[in-house]
Structure 1
Amino acid sequence: MAARKPTEATDTETTDADRAREAAVEAALGKLGPDAKARLLGGRDMWSLHALPEIGLKPLVMSDGPIGVRGTRWTADDPSIALPSPTALAATWDQDLARRAGALLAQEARRKGVHVLLAPTVNLHRTPLGGRHFEAYSEDPYLTGVIGTGYVQGVQSGGVGTTVKHFVANDAETERFTVDNRIGARALRELYLAPFEAIVAGAHPWGIMTAYNQVNGVTMTEHRYLVNEVLRGEWGFDGCNVSDWMAARSTTGALEGGLDVAMPGPRTVYGEPLAASVRAGEAEEGAVDEAVRNVLRLAARVGVLEGAEPVVTEAPAEIDGAALAREIARRSFVLVRNDNQTLPLSRSAGRIALIGAAARDARVLGGGSATVFPARVVSPLDGLAAALPEGALTYAVGADPSDELAPADKGFELCARCRDVKGTVLGEGGLPSGQVQWIGDDLPEGVTHEAMASVEVVGTFTPRESGEHSFGTRGLGGFTLTVGGRVLFDGVQRADAGADPFEAFFGSPVERGTVALTEGEPVEVSLLHRLERKAAAPLPGVLFSLVHLGPRRADDELMSEAVEAARDADTAVVVVATTERVESEGFDRRDLRLPGRQDDLVRAVAAANPRTVVVVNSGAPVELPWRDDVAAVLLGWFPGQEGGAALADVLLGAEEPGGRLPTTWGDLAAAPVTEVTPSNAELAYREGVFIGYRAWERVGATPSYAFGHGLGYTDWTYESLTVEGTTATVRVRNSGCRTGREVVQLYLAPTEPDPARPARWLAGFATVEAAPDESVRATVELPRRAFEIWDEVSNSWAYQAGSYEVQAGRSVADLRLTRVLRTAPQGAR
């Protein structure tokens, strides 16, 4: 039987299948007693729910996304495809490409025995300082909803569930466990809830993840109004509501607030506490039944409930993961400047000087729970070296973005060896880096938390360069660090008062000593970590790192070498980047500057070579103070495992950079909305509906690069715009000399300015392709919601009749054609 997508089935087929699954769910529910029901609603371990053999229910397994599927163990022993960051996917402005990405991740999930992917993140880029923005799509709710819908459709077309997250308003990381985000009803509806609503309507997701934060005084895992009345009631969501990990705090509060599953296990607010609350009359058994029903429905859909046919009964055709990763990367690259058509470079364009630490050691994904371990990573150096003739490429570091020690990586071959109190080896597992991050049952085979007394990261290090190498630790507890037989540290690291619960994971590394090493000569390394028992911990975990930094060379010396390389080359390509200490889960950014002396490096190289191309390797906006002094600027996001190969494709002209900005790039001093730090545990969204480009236009400020901006390798002429009813048709002509792709963007702007509404907003878009001198049409249906606002008096959507300009163009700041559309009053909904 062929794969079956809910979005492609007929109403009759879908109804029949759903009815059959509902019957199986009800039959299974009727066989369960109160204790079994309560047990099912609490996690069995870090990633799965309890099996209930008495009803034919197998364990339901979840895993982090969104750019790969890690599986139930945080290890490189089972590598994962690493796609470009969600900001990169959104930069393609292509729902079908998002759908294909989701289908690939479903394939990965099935391979790893995962039934539910903890993705996508559809929170908004409210301010440019959000530390986790690389994991979300855009500042615009409409674009976010379109890309998120495609992603969810793709994942679920492979028979794997999604949990659209983080519901709702987890738009920053500062005090994320406790912050109370105070949001007006209109902004909440028009901005922050809008992507979730669009995805529920367009993709029928099988799961939602509720966030840590509060909204207007109520924590989201207990938010009865937003979950039961809005999500389930108004929108008709019939999936499973899963808590963010350790977000659930109250048994009865969570149940009454519509939370179905409290993760992770085994100690949760559900399970035995819930059974006891039911027996005591504090929790309603009917509410428990409804939560169990939602869990069983999810289990039926993904195929782990006997007697229920899953939504997808046969896996779709296999997808080449590396090829798709490469395609998404090149389609996501945004060319924001291309003076005198510097790009594309010819393969016979002479000598190219590649400069930057990130050109050699690529940062392909963001930090935190989104991390996966790909089988290979193609760096810019790898990609260009493979594509260019021998001798055409030189490389110089130029400036390192960080002088902070990082988890041991290049040149290290390590494993983690676990011992009991007597020193007997219990088991060991391979490590992709010096970072150990075992939570719950994520342990090497044969090892348990109860028996384990110590973990030793042990192996060899073969230096890539001679000199003084620094070694250190990250994490809490007792450590003994030894390099080449020499003990560099033997002591205990304690937590600071009031530290984040994930300090061991996200905390700062501590340098413990230096050792003089010779290039190419291996040395033995060991970091022994003595475990401390923490009875109060919600779940057992081992989190620590062996960290390292190569020989420190003077910045001026490195930059001098880069300048000489640039001066001797026909073209200089400088790769600049953020680091994991700048963009990661767990904290927000303090500024938008590139770390280290990378700005100085770009200026120095540009002064030496007027043909300087800068590639920006960041997941979210950074300031580019030299942008007008270089020949070209290409934004590469976190480009995934094939990023270097995709970069070579684009720089050398084999492919066109297809991306358009999904969020505004500008200097922090000019940014209209920047607050991420709560005051007295509250963060007021005072700006209302004015975020992103809406806010930039309101204050009359000009950003570095506007929302929607992006250049290709051809030119486009906007020839005509017609509007019939709410259907807009734009005719564009490829007026350049090569085939290309254009994202035609449609904005609505009231002809009579209204200070309570943005000057304009994205109402639709379409992608077209054309050969040179070919004319093509883009047809866009303007949705009703584009003409509505949330009326806080009637607490409903209100259609705003009147006169609007329909504006077509290449970005919010480059609008080429305008037509007036007059709308008549319509009935309320």
Structure 2
Amino acid sequence: MTLITNSKNFDVESLIKELTLEEKVKLISGVDFWHTAKIERLGIPKIRVSDGPNGIRGTKFFNGVPAGCFPCGTGLAATFNKDLLFEAGQLMGEEAKAKAVHVILGPTCNIQRSPLGGRGFESYSPDPVLSGFASAAIISGIQDKKIAATLKHFVCNDIETERSSINSIVTQRALREVYLLPFQIAIRDSNPISLMTSYNKVNGEHVSNSKYLIEEILRDEWKWQGATMSDWYGLYSLKESIDAGLDLEMPGPPKMRKYDSVQHAVNSKEIHLKILNKRVENVLKLIKYSLNSGINENDPETSSNNTPITSLKLREIASESIVLLKNDNNLLPLKPADKIAIFGPNAKFASYCGGGSASLLSYYSTTPYDGIKSKADIIPEYTLGAAAHKMLPGLGTQLKRDDGSVGFTMKIYLKPRDYQGDRNFVEQLNLNSSYMHMVDYYNSKILENDLIFYADIEGYFTPEEDGEYEFGVAVVGTALIFVDETLVVDNKTKQIFGNTFFNQGSIEEKGRIVLSKDKTYKIRIEFSSGKTSILTKGLDPGNYGGGGIRIGAIKVFDPLAEIAKAVEIAKKNDKVIIVSGTNLEFETESLDREDMKLPGYQDQLIEAIVAANKNTIVVNQSGTPVEMPWIEKIPAVLQAWFAGNEGGNAIADVLYGDVNPSGKLSITFPIRLQDNPTYFNFNSNNGQVLYGEDVYVDYRFYEKIDRPVLFPFGHGLSYSNFTYDNLVLSINESSDLLIAKFELKNNSDRSGKEVAQLYVSQQKPSITRPIKELKNFIKVSLKAGETKKIEIKTSLKYATSFFDEYYNDWCSESGTYNVIIGKSTENIQLVESFQLKETKHWSGL
């Protein structure tokens, strides 16, 4: 028997022969939230997986090791820079090594059918080609560092409402041309080692049970041989999922693949041993690949990658993601001597990531206010202007400990505060996060106590102003908030279910108290773990673990009076910056957005400020589109996404021209929510969602019905001016190659980058097709006055084909096609046509 120490002596076939049935069953499910099973007898190590899409969290939702945070998916795609995305993937690989993570659960390449999708920010684009190329570049970068990437969520995981049961009803053509295509491109170009199935059903069948999707398309047609895993708690069967090709149930301990159940199914010949062995084989291949990373299963999680080099790369990526939407009269870039006022909910709040699996504790965060302040000669004036929060702003960083440090203490006991004897102290934690999801909080003492524990959370709060303050708490468990021993919030004796903590928690209960400026108050919160609450009856304790608590506080203010205050400040300054947007409360996993509007009084603030100062600049931070009813009045607008650790600095770099903006919109911004193609069918109708727009997603829809938009797909301005000329096409059907050659010139005195977008349109198709479709793009750096000869290559069959439902394969139809080179879908620069002489059908990659 050979013990496994590295990939070279890891013989998968030999190992399968040596494994007992019990050991095989262990390997096809996780042992906990983040690890596969270890088979010590044969030296098979456990491997570690971790979220995610915009940063590597590690193994902790609660009190984790800080990590680097990248821009959100839509922001990464907005760079339109494959080389930079490859470098982003490499940095993700380095971050994974710091967290001793073998497998990254990302990238996410689902399609934003609607601006309201809760995880829309996490995906790259509603365009399958941009999404596919972005995914491939990041996967290639991750795997360049010998870390396995996990392409997710396969497939049609495009709505969060009832996501574990929702049935996505979609035509085969739309499934192929829009929803499967980004996976197809990513597998073709980067061969991800792993793939995660989605929670939902597609046409009546859960994807994790679908032999059609996993075996027939993914493995037989695309010839992909990696490992498949379920989304967390996203496995719904035993035999069906094993037969369908789902290799690994996550997390563990398993709900479906328990030894007794699998043993019975194998012994009764319900599950064929050959099929079970194939599932084991794919998991072993994943483990074998992971040994190349050099990570030992006992390596600690660290923040060792928090270096100046990491910060610079994150700043570069964030800067290239920012899109200059509007810049009338060259109001931007700013000058350091400009006297500036700054308002808005995201000005002094670092909205660096969305919610759910994509959220993490970052190394640090930078705010737009601090970034701008660092470049301005005069310290900018500030007031909030308008708030944007569903729940009260986090209390954690508003508190201080006894030693004056920012945050609070959490003392954990096995007995409640009113217990008369020894409370059995467990440990003390020093924290500053207002959101404590203790699903993965483990301590040997509380495990022995059946996950029941009690915590005293204590810190000191010093108000900056006299007035009434509102405190709030949401829990999985129970909680009471005391201010100087006065009970202010009761979320224990009265509790109402809400949508907090992945729909496991209560609503936020609130209470108010009058406080005095500069007086220090002791805040004490009594928290009891998940099992102490009546709300958790009937819920799976594997989902909520130790429970969770989220604490918040804010001074109560009159929104209109706050706007009036901002207006008076705006009148005294040369220019005004409003940092608007959403945050991780509004754009988050497990919850779809209610509308496309800026939360709170932000629209009123913007209207009032621009009326007082015409030199108003709006910097919007959101992961997906927002309505902008004031757009005609505002001369300059930036879309800055959730931009990661370095978001505040990157915004300032672009505002002041230290970075010439080069981002392009990865998604269309419609004028109103009602204008988007899914307005009537982005919802659950008794557990079903109809993909009624078919292949007409995003710009395909707006162009087909000639509906105006706020800003088109691919749009983005620069401080430079670029011109295109002399398009020449080269077509080679035998080598499947389409080459577009043209000249690109920078007609300005400033170096910059331009994204040239290649679209293809069929002139007289035999079926109804979109006006044009993106097929490739290139980002080019040009010095002031420089001209470059540009060449964009793409697959001819991918560029010309539609999915033919009659033949059940792809069809590249004879006829005349236009190649369209543009700055966006609406800003077309060059057009040239070519002929295909012969119709061809094809399948595979």
Please indicate the TM-score interval, normalised by the length of the shorter structure. Answer: over 0.9
Distance change (3 Å), C-alpha of 1:531 and 1:148:
closer
Give 5+ residue unaligned stretches, structure 1.
1-18, 309-314
Q: Percent identity?
A: 31
Matched, 1:802 2:815: yes
- Per the alignment, residue 262 of structure 1 pairs with 249
Deviates more, 1:175-184 or 1:561-570: 561-570
- Residue 357 of structure 2 aligns to a residue whose secondary structure is coil
Letter of the 1:661 partner, please give it: L
Report the counterpart of residue 9 of structure 1 in structure 2: none
3-state SS of 1:550 partner: strand
- Other structure's SS at 2:531 match: coil
Which residue of 1 is the match for residue 556 of structure 2?
Answer: 552
In the TM superposition, what are the counterparts of 1:625-640 in structure 2 within 5 Å? 625-640=629-644
Evaluate the alpha carbon distance shift between residue 576 and residue 536 of structure 1 in structure 2; reply closer, same or farther with a 3 A threshold: closer
Q: What is the aligned partner in structure 2 of residue 12 from structure 1? A: none
The reply to whether residue 222 of structure 1 matches residue 212 of structure 2 is: no
Deviation at 1:478, TM superposition (A): 3.0
2:434 alignment counterpart: 434
Contact 1:463 1:519 in 2 (8 A): yes
- Is the CA contact (8 Å cut-off) linking 2:469 and 2:515 kept in structure 1? yes
For residues 24 and 630 of structure 1, do their structure 2 counterparts lie closer, same or farther at Cα, with a shift above 3 Å needed? Answer: same
SS at match of 2:374: helix
Q: How does 1:13-412 map to 2 (within 5 A)?
A: 24-272=11-259, 273-303=261-291, 320-348=309-337, 350-389=338-377, 391-402=378-389, 404-412=391-399
Greater CA drift, 671-680 or 361-370: 671-680
Q: Distance in 2 between matches of 1:736 and 1:175?
A: 52
| Structure 2 match to 1:717 | 723
**1:665 matches 2:665:** no
Give, in whole Å, the separation in 2 of the partners of 1:372 and 1:574. Answer: 26
Residue 811 of structure 1 pairs with residue 814 of structure 2:
no
- What does residue 778 of structure 2 align with? 766
Q: State the distance in 2 between where 1:351 and 1:810 align.
A: 34
Q: What TM-score does the superposition give when structure 2 sets the normalisation length?
A: 0.91
Q: Taking structure 1 as reference, are residues 720 and 659 closer, same or farther at Cα in structure 2, changes over 3 Å only?
A: same
TM-score normalised by length of structure 1:
0.92
Contact 1:169 1:192 in 2 (8 A): yes
Q: How much does 1:509 deviate?
A: 1.4
Distance 1:526 1:344 in 2: 47
Q: Secondary structure of the equivalent of 1:303?
A: helix
Q: Which residue of 1 aligns with 2:740?
A: 728
Paired residue for 1:13?
Answer: none
CA contact (8 A) 1:427 1:445 kept: no
CA distance in 2, matches of 1:558, 1:501: 32
| Residues 169 and 351 (structure 1), Cα distance of their counterparts in 2 relative to 1, 3 Å cut | same
How many Å apart are 1:128 and its aligned residue? 1.4
Q: Tell me: CA distance 1:520–1:139, structure 2 relative to 1, closer, same or farther (3 Å).
A: farther
Aligned residues of 2:503 and 2:590 also touching (Cα < 8 A): no
Conserved 8 A contact 1:75-1:432 = no
Moved more, 358-367 or 701-710: 358-367
2:515 corresponding residue in structure 1: 516
Please give the secondary structure, in 1, of the residue aligned with 2:578.
strand
**Residues 787 and 801, structure 1, Cα contact 8 Å, conserved in 2:** no
Q: Deviations over 1:120-177 (max 9, x none)?
A: 1100011111111110000100000000001111111111112111000001111111
The one-letter code of the counterpart of 1:214 is: K
Deviations 1:195-226 (A, max 9, x none): 11111111111100001100011101101110
Structure-2 change in CA distance of 1:30 and 1:432 (3 Å): farther
Greater displacement, 444-453 / 729-738: 444-453
Please list, as runs of the form range in 1=range in 2, the aligned pairs for 1:415-564 lying within 5 A after superposition.
Answer: 415-421=409-415, 423-440=423-440, 442-443=441-442, 447-448=446-447, 450-463=449-462, 465-466=464-465, 467-490=467-490, 492=492, 502-504=502-504, 508-519=507-518, 521-532=520-531, 537=540, 539=542, 541-564=545-568
1: CA distance, partners of 2:432 / 2:255: 31
CA distance, structure 2, for counterparts of residue 601 and residue 460 of structure 1: 34
Residues in 2 aligned to 1:373 and 1:28: alpha-carbon distance in whole angstroms: 39
The separation in 2 between residues aligned to 1:474 and 1:508, in whole angstroms, is: 6
Equivalent residues of 2:351, 2:642 under 8 A apart: yes
Amino acid corresponding to residue 665 of structure 2 in structure 1: L
* Residues 434 and 415 (structure 1), Cα distance of their counterparts in 2 relative to 1, 3 Å cut: farther
Contact conserved, 1:720 with 1:732, CA < 8 A, in 2? no
Contact 1:427 1:447 in 2 (8 A): no
Structure 2 vs 1, CA of residues 813 and 493 (structure 1 numbering), >3 Å: closer, same or farther? farther
Residue by residue, what CA displacement relative to the aligned partner does 1:557-611 show, whole Å, maximum 9, x if unpaired? Answer: 2111211221111110111011333211111112100000100111111111111
- Structure 2 distance, partners of 1:298, 1:432, is 37
Q: Gaps spanning 5+ residues in structure 2: where?
A: 1-5, 297-303, 400-406, 416-421, 732-737
Q: Could you say which residue in structure 2 is the equivalent of 1:7?
A: none
Q: Secondary structure at the match of 1:756?
A: coil
Q: Would the alpha carbon gap of residues 497 and 346 (structure 1) be closer, same or farther in structure 2, given more than 3 Å must change?
A: closer
Distance 1:370 1:623, change over 3 A: same
Helix, strand or coil at the partner of 1:828: strand
**Which residue type is aligned with residue 652 of structure 1?**
Y
* Residues 419, 452 of structure 1: 8 Å contact kept: no
2:418 aligned residue: none
What's the CA shift for 1:317?
A: 14
Query: Does the 8 A contact of 2:439 with 2:548 survive in 1?
Result: no
CA contact (8 A) 2:451 2:531 kept: no
Q: CA deviation at 1:35?
A: 0.7
Q: CA RMSD in A?
A: 2.5
User: CA contact under 8 A between 2:100 and 2:295: conserved in structure 1?
Assistant: no
* Counterpart selection for 1:787 from 751, 776, 800: 800
Give the total of aligned pairs.
801
Helix, strand or coil at the partner of 2:724? strand
In the alignment, is the contact (CA less than 8 A) between 1:40 and 1:271 conserved in 2? no
Shift, 1:754, TM fit: 6.0
Tell me if the contact between 2:476 and 2:530 (Cα under 8 Å) persists in the aligned partners. no
Q: Decide whether aligned partners of structure 1 residues 521 and 98 sit closer, same or farther in structure 2, where only a CA change above 3 A counts.
A: same
Contact kept? 2:811, 2:841, Cα under 8 Å: yes
* CA deviation vs aligned residue, 1:45-72 (integer Å, no higher than 9, x gap): 1111111112211111111111111111
Q: Which one-letter code corresponds to 1:173 in the other structure?
A: E
Counterpart contact for 2:473–2:491, Cα < 8 Å = no
Once residues 158 and 316 of structure 1 are traced to their aligned partners in structure 2, the CA distance between those partners, rounded to angstroms, is 14
Change (3 A) 1:286 1:260: same
Contact 1:35/1:271 (<8 A) preserved: no
Give 3-state SS (helix, strand or coil) of 2:555's partner.
Answer: coil
Contact preservation (8 Å) 1:709, 1:810 = yes
Gap change, CA 1:768 and 1:360, over 3 Å in 2: same
Correspondence for 2:402: none
Instruction: Give distance in 1, aligned partners of 2:726 and 2:690.
Output: 43
Q: How far is the alpha carbon of 1:512 from its aligned partner?
A: 3.5
Cα separation, 1, equivalents of 2:60 and 2:166: 30
| More displaced stretch, 653-662 vs 763-772 | 763-772
